């Protein structure tokens, strides 16, 4: 059993699909409901660094505080953006998954398959009906 953590929003389909993919690999992750218990400042900075993305790339744009705070304007420092995410956790894009193989923003949810230490154990279909893993536990390519 591998140590896996998911920063999860149960109201989000992508987050729910990602959680199912983790469970389909035989792992029960630590689930952090980040809207209720947002990461601490240094933890959020480390997650961003570990993902190798910019602070702005983690920012959710289609939520109320984004427009209200004027975050589309490119006038904020990374530190200011992090502080807004900590004050308004809904601004943190999700799900973020941490495994021994890496940390990734799993959008789309299939991104998690690249950092899971254990293979998928069986077929898996996303909530929208798209099959992503076949009956042998192999990822189905959209381009095949």
Decide if 106 is catalytic: no
For residues 114 and 120, what is the distance between their CA atoms, to the nearest angstrom? 11
Given a contact cutoff of 8 angstroms between Cβ atoms, the answer to whether 64 and 39 are in contact is no
Q: At what angle do helices 41-51 and 78-87 cross, to 10 degrees?
A: 120
Q: Which residues pair with 5 in a beta bridge?
A: 30, 98
For residues 37 and 20, what is the distance between their CA atoms, to the nearest angstrom? 21
Q: Which of 12, 35, 53, 140 is catalytic?
A: 12
Q: Which residues pair with 96 in a beta bridge?
A: 7, 105
- Name the helix (H) or strand (E) containing 54: none
* Catalytic residue ranges: 12
């Amino acid at each position: 059993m591998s140590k896996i953590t998911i920063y999860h929003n149960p109201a989000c389909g992508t987050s729910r699909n990602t959680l199912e993919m983790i469970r389909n690999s035989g792992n029960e992750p630590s689930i952090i409901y980040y809207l209720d218990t947002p990461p601490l400042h240094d933890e959020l900075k480390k997650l961003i660094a570990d993902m190798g993305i910019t602070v702005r790339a983690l920012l959710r744009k289609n939520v109320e505080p984004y427009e209200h705070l004027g975050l589309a304007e490119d006038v904020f420092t990374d530190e200011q953006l992090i502080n807004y995410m900590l004050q308004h956790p809904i601004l943190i894009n999700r799900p973020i998954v941490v495994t021994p193989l890496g940390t990734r923003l799993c959008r789309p949810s299939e991104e998690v398959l690249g950092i899971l230490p254990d293979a998928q154990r069986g077929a898996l279909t996303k909530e929208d009906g798209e099959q992503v893993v076949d009956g042998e536990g192999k990822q189905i390519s959209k381009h095949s």
